[in-house]
Amino acid sequence: MSDPHAPPDAVSATDANVPSCRKLFTEFARMGLSGFGGVLPFARAGIVDRNRWLSNTEFAELLSLGQVLPGPNVVNLSVMLGYRYHGVRGAAAAMGGLVLTPAVLLLLIVMLYDQFSALPLVQNLLKGMAAVAAGLVLSTAVKLAQGQSRTWRAVGIGLAVVLTIGVLQWPLLPVMLVLIPLALLLEWRAMR
């Protein structure tokens, strides 16, 4: 690897095939169509495992940035990744694939749901799908955590996020406004 400061699992542009705009569109459309209940596990699998466009560490970093920006985090991730490879055209292709194809399917599903939502079978299916979605999110969180720092500072901040947002259900923005500067301060002090 040419960059001595790169994460150990970094994937450089010379290591991976640079995707075309068409490939960005089709791969993000595939992710969007696969991601019932949440596209994040499918996005990680497509971006990190299948296409090797990013390493696990790079994915976690871009996802973190996407979470603090306004808008859905995976949409933000698609824009950043598309822009990295092809500028505005790549960003539009990746986001278009992620959003447009599932939006058309969603309209069809909404029309069907409107007709059949009162059926007990449909209500039970939705409960089962909610459990699957929760499991997918949890499994992705575990995979993302595996490649991260295990210092007491990182673990403490991670637990603080789980406690405040997951357990206490505090709003995301105030928690991030407190924890991000705290994490930066702790890391800065550790580097001194």
**Of 189, 188, 184, 134, residue with least CA distance to 157:** 184
The candidate with the shortest Cα–Cα distance to 44, out of 32, 35, 56, is: 56
Q: What is the rounded distance in angstroms from the CA atom of residue 1 to the CA atom of residue 159?
A: 33
User: pLDDT tens digits for the chain (192 residues)?
Assistant: 344 444 444 444 445 579 999 999 999 999 988 876 678 888 999 999 999 999 999 999 999 899 888 888 999 999 999 999 999 999 999 999 999 988 998 899 899 989 998 899 988 888 888 888 778 778 877 877 777 777 888 889 989 998 999 899 999 889 989 999 999 999 899 888
Model pTM?
0.59
**How far is the C-alpha of 38 from the C-alpha of 43, rounded, in Å?**
9
